[in-house]
Amino acid sequence: MGDAPPSSDMRSICIIGAGPAGLVAAKTFLQTGQCRVTVYEKSHRLGGIWALDEDATGGFLHPRTPTNLSRFSVGFSDLAWSSVDIDSHAKGKLPMFPKAWQVGKYLEEYRRRYLPEEVIKYGMRVSKAEKCKQLAIGSKEFWRVTAIDVDGREERADFDLLVVATGFFAKPRPLQHSVDVQGQIDSLSMLHSSQYRSLQDLLPPSSQSLAGKKILLVGGGNSAGEAAATIASHLSNAQWSNDTTQQKAFEGCRIIHITPRPIYALPPFTPANENSTVFMPLDFNFYDLSRRLPGPITGNAGRVPETVKEMLHGVLRKTVGGDQSDLGSDALVASEGAERGTVQVALAETYAEFVRSGLTEVRAGRVASISERDGRVVATMSHGGTSNEIEGIGAVVYATGYSPSPALDMLHPQVKDALHFDESSMRLPLILEQWQTMSKAEPNLAFIGFYEGPYWGVMEMQARLVAQHWLNDQEVLTKPYEEAVAMLDLRKAMQDRALDVPQCWFGDYAGYMEEIASVLELQRNDGNFQERSGAVSAARYLADSDDRKEADATMHDLYDTWQSCTETGKYTARAAFRALQGNWNVHRRITSHNTTYPSGVLTGTASFQFRSPTDAAYDLEYLYIESGTFTLANGATMNASRRYVYRYSEPQDQLSVWFVKPASDLEVDYLFHDLAFASPADAEEAGRHIAKADHLCVKDMYWTEYRLPIQGIALRSFQVEHKVKGPDKDYVSFTGYRRPEKSSG
């Protein structure tokens, strides 16, 4: 475009960043027919943090990391996931929580459909965006943007309007910002949670073993819970796989998680009704429009009133099945009364049971310092005015969040000053309004997705709002929670660690979607849902230029999934599988009606040990290990043990049980049975979930029934009954499982 100011017939838009925010902004402006759009992307490909291949090793995310929310929240209004070719690895069906590399595929298809290739300039890092005026055209302002390619060559161009879509999580926050790391510690690995991929990343430079060592995990947010669960799952897999090298290298290794606040650990599927007979993707429950108060749905943000705080703690406790004291860690039990903070959540499916098992130990407090003494690494932590030392540390993983400030380096200090920029504020570096898009102080500058945890649907709404404002001069009143006074007060409360600051201060997804849709007068596309029922999806709110066919496909998929959950119990098997994880006390009574097969009682222990699936056709796997003492009817006793493998397949929504090989009890042999779960209506009537199976084993027929009284997401006891008949067998085996009692500590 050279140095000449843009012409007045078409508005020229510069967008910085080709992640989800930049792509949806570019598509939105192009479809108005009133804009020329240029997107600068510093990487060689689009996608932002999702710019990943299936086997990529760089980036903030492991390519197989699943999204925190379902595909109905991770997507835009007019591209259905069913239209994206994510190849044979999807096993025939779309995952409910796509992997990171699959999200990258989605974004590539979105670009292919809606953005001409020449719109995006790859390998161009914007180093400077200056606000300029030219006297020849009066006082009109424009932006002069300088971008640098990989060879250091500069390119300058002028634009009417500037959109920053660089993403909020610009750079991992160094551990040294919050912890006094004394000197250079070369004897162990210290890495940000975004850098962790496998246990090999934790090995010290001079050794190939962490046996008997502690992995110190620092942080109290969602990423800390995710990292703790991921590392624990890798440790569990190392212990229960056939890789003896891994077993020895990490034998006796465990995690010490230091968190300044209790966190509730939630799995991807949570109960949708009072008696936990229906399970749905957690965002279906979080953003169910029928749960909003009567009247127009409006958004909320900022500090949390005491009544709301208490209500949210109550909801979370009901969801997880209690106050978490049964996990055996005081650090996970929220205090009562005035000292209780806001709800903090980790979307980490396996976290809680790894805590209960002891593989992860949670301690309340903050790490003050890490130092090396006589070849030993020691961490000092503080809590409640006291200090304690942690020794035997073999690796440090810090989930200390990200600094957004580097994403703003291209802006002139005067521009940032006008936006109340505060580099020390990691959570609220700018003071914006209009649903966190703009400021009256800089009317030709907008931000898309520049806040903690941006929702894809909200990013699309933000882009529409900015386009409407710039192209149609539509003014919108500032919401009270975005007034500068309120925002500056919130920033100070964050810095003071006030107890009423929420985990996600701008997190009312349903409220913002409904609010902005009303302002923009978008078309509703509720599909088969009533207007005030079902989950929020970007496909429910359409502009005239959106592809209605794609939106309808998404809404059809959403409604079918919703109905399958409520009517046939879809994902109950997944919820049950998750609830089985960990350790159990076992009591089994065998009543035989045939003298050739003994009656008796077994007492002992059992565990469902998490490990990576040993068959790619399955998504999750446990090794079941049982041992105990079997007492015959005549009083004689003997040691008894058995092993099975439990598997879950998402495409089939199937929980199955498999025999292990007699000569190699870590390896799967053949199928024992597939479990068929009763419908939610039958579970409601029975007061528990029921799963049945039958199986012919050589000449013996097994009829099996599992009785699973799940409360919230928790399972504290369950029963399994086998009825067996054959030429030499005629008995009933009834086994009761109960969680070992643990006291907080």
pLDDT in tens, 59-104: 788 888 999 999 999 999 999 999 999 864 544 578 999 999 999 9
- Vertex 272, ends 713 and 552: CA angle to 5°? 130
Digit-coded pLDDT (tens) for 230-260? 999 999 999 999 899 999 999 999 999 999 9
* Confidence at residue 34, expressed as pLDDT on a 0 to 100 scale: 95
Helix (H, G, I), strand (E, B) or coil at 388: strand
Q: Please check whether residue 16 is in contact with residue 410, taking contact to mean a CB–CB distance below 8 angstroms.
A: yes
Q: How far is CA 61 from the centre of its chain?
A: 11
Torsion of CA 425, 430, 433, 434, to 10 degrees: -110
Q: Give, in order, the Cα–Cα distances in Å from 514 to each of 72, 510, 558, 586.
A: 16, 6, 18, 50
Q: State how far the Cα of 689 lies from the Cα of 686, in Å rounded to an integer.
A: 7
Say which residues have a Cβ less than 8 Å from residue 502's Cβ, sequence separation at least 6.
303, 304, 342, 343
Q: State how far the Cα of 485 lies from the Cα of 247, in Å rounded to an integer.
A: 56
Q: What is the DSSP string of 649-709?
A: ETTTTEEEEEEEETTEEEEEEEEEEEEEEPPHHHHHHHTSEEEEEEEEETTEEEEEEEEE-
* Confidence at residue 6, expressed as pLDDT on a 0 to 100 scale: 47
Q: State how far the Cα of 411 lies from the Cα of 516, in Å rounded to an integer.
A: 28
Q: State how far the Cα of 213 lies from the Cα of 207, in Å rounded to an integer.
A: 12
Crossing angle (nearest 10°) for helices 100-114 and 20-30: 20
Q: State how far the Cα of 586 lies from the Cα of 641, in Å rounded to an integer.
A: 12
Query: Is there a shared CATH topology between the 11-170+404-489 domain and the 172-263+305-341+344-401 domain?
Result: yes
Digit-coded pLDDT (tens) for 299-345? 999 999 999 999 999 999 999 999 999 999 999 999 887 788 999 99
Q: Please check whether residue 719 is in contact with residue 707, taking contact to mean a CB–CB distance below 8 angstroms.
A: yes
**What's the residue count for the chain?**
745
Say which residues have a Cβ less than 8 Å from residue 9's Cβ, sequence separation at least 6.
none
Kindly report the number of other CB atoms within 10 A of residue 698's CB atom.
6
Q: State how far the Cα of 495 lies from the Cα of 687, in Å rounded to an integer.
A: 47
* Confidence at residue 92, expressed as pLDDT on a 0 to 100 scale: 56
Joined together, the tokens standing for residue 200 give 């090999």
Q: Please check whether residue 50 is in contact with residue 22, taking contact to mean a CB–CB distance below 8 angstroms.
A: no
Q: Could you give the count of Cα atoms lying within 13 Å of 315 in the half-sphere of its Cβ?
A: 17
Q: How far is CA 124 from the centre of its chain?
A: 31
What residue spans define the domains of the chain?
11-170+404-489, 172-263+305-341+344-401, 572-738
Helix (H, G, I), strand (E, B) or coil at 720: strand
Q: State how far the Cα of 232 lies from the Cα of 255, in Å rounded to an integer.
A: 7
Torsion of CA 568, 569, 571, 576, to 10 degrees: -150
CATH number, domain 172-263+305-341+344-401, options 3.60.15.10, 3.50.50.60, 3.30.70.1350, 1.25.40.10 = 3.50.50.60
* Confidence at residue 1, expressed as pLDDT on a 0 to 100 scale: 33
Q: Please tell me what DSSP assigns to residue 293.
A: P
Residue owning tokens 């199955």: 656
Residue 361 has pLDDT above 50, yes or no: yes
* Confidence at residue 403, expressed as pLDDT on a 0 to 100 scale: 92
Joined together, the tokens standing for residue 20 give 């989800």
Q: Please tell me what DSSP assigns to residue 236.
A: H
Average pLDDT value for the chain: 93
Q: State how far the Cα of 233 lies from the Cα of 198, in Å rounded to an integer.
A: 10
Q: How far is CA 527 from the centre of its chain?
A: 27
| H/E element, 395 | strand 393-398
Residue 133 has pLDDT above 90, yes or no: no
Least confident of 474-478, 584-588, 624-628, 732-736: 474-478
* Confidence at residue 741, expressed as pLDDT on a 0 to 100 scale: 87
Digit-coded pLDDT (tens) for 520-545? 999 999 999 999 999 999 999 999 99
According to the CATH classification, is domain 11-170+404-489 in 3.40.50.11240? no
Q: State how far the Cα of 569 lies from the Cα of 220, in Å rounded to an integer.
A: 34
Structure pTM? 0.94
Joined together, the tokens standing for residue 708 give 């699973």
Q: Which CATH architecture has domain 572-738?
A: Beta Barrel (2.40)
Which ranges constitute the DSSP H helices of 304-379?
A: 306-320, 351-357
Q: Please check whether residue 402 is in contact with residue 163, taking contact to mean a CB–CB distance below 8 angstroms.
A: no
Indicate the pLDDT class of residue 697, thresholds 50, 70 and 90.
confident
Say which residues have a Cβ less than 8 Å from residue 557's Cβ, sequence separation at least 6.
72, 80, 81, 82
Amino acid residing at 140: K
Residue 137 has pLDDT above 60, yes or no: no
Least confident of 36-45, 204-213, 263-272: 204-213
* Confidence at residue 676, expressed as pLDDT on a 0 to 100 scale: 98
Sign of CA dihedral 32, 37, 41, 46: positive
Q: Give, in order, the Cα–Cα distances in Å from 578 to each of 609, 649, 654.
A: 11, 12, 13
Kindly report the number of other CB atoms within 10 A of residue 578's CB atom.
21
For 423-430, which contacts have Cβ atoms below 8 Å and span 24 or more sequence positions?
424/495, 425/491, 425/494, 425/495, 426/173, 426/401, 426/402, 427/452, 427/491, 427/494, 427/505, 428/487, 428/490, 428/491, 428/494, 428/505, 429/404, 429/405
Q: State how far the Cα of 140 lies from the Cα of 277, in Å rounded to an integer.
A: 62
Digit-coded pLDDT (tens) for 620-677? 999 999 999 999 988 999 999 999 999 999 999 999 999 999 999 999 999 999 999 9
Q: State how far the Cα of 271 lies from the Cα of 572, in Å rounded to an integer.
A: 9
Amino acid residing at 717: S
Digit-coded pLDDT (tens) for 454-498? 899 999 999 999 999 999 987 888 999 999 999 999 999 999 999
Burial of 12 (0-12, 13-18, 19+ CB in 10 A): buried
Residue owning tokens 């919230």: 712
Averaged over 29-45, what is the pLDDT? 96
